[in-house]
Amino acid sequence: VTGASFVVFNGALKTSSGFLAKSSIVEDGLMVQITRETMESLRQALRDKKDFKITCGKMDAGDVKEYVDICWVENEEKTNQG
């Protein structure tokens, strides 16, 4: 689990790169590089206020994967203190 001050979603990852998605720490935030199709799905999930999971890593990496989970919560006060 990684805490971050901000998240950047970059929808310019090419399918030919061999990656499902890529995540990296940038300063005190997180940058997630995703394909255009995943960006469209993410936008729709945010509009609908639905949870969304992004699988990061190489397409042929087998079982080792990283995930970026976007989760809606009921009570923001408890999750964003400090």
CATH number of 58's domain: 3.30.1360.220
The pLDDT of residue 27: 87
Does the residue 77 lie in any domain?
no
Does the residue 13 lie in any domain?
yes
Q: Which residue has the tokens 């400090």?
A: 82
∠ CA 44-48-40, rounded to 5° = 5
Does the residue 79 lie in any domain?
no
Residue 44, domain extent? 4-68
The pLDDT of residue 80: 57
Instruction: Please list the pLDDT of the chain residue by residue as tens digits (82 residues).
Output: 667 789 999 999 998 999 999 999 888 899 999 999 999 999 999 999 999 999 999 988 777 678 999 998 887 665 555 5
Query: How many domains is the chain partitioned into structurally?
Result: 1
Does the residue 37 lie in any domain?
yes
Query: Helical H runs in 1-82?
Result: 36-47, 76-79
Does the residue 76 lie in any domain?
no
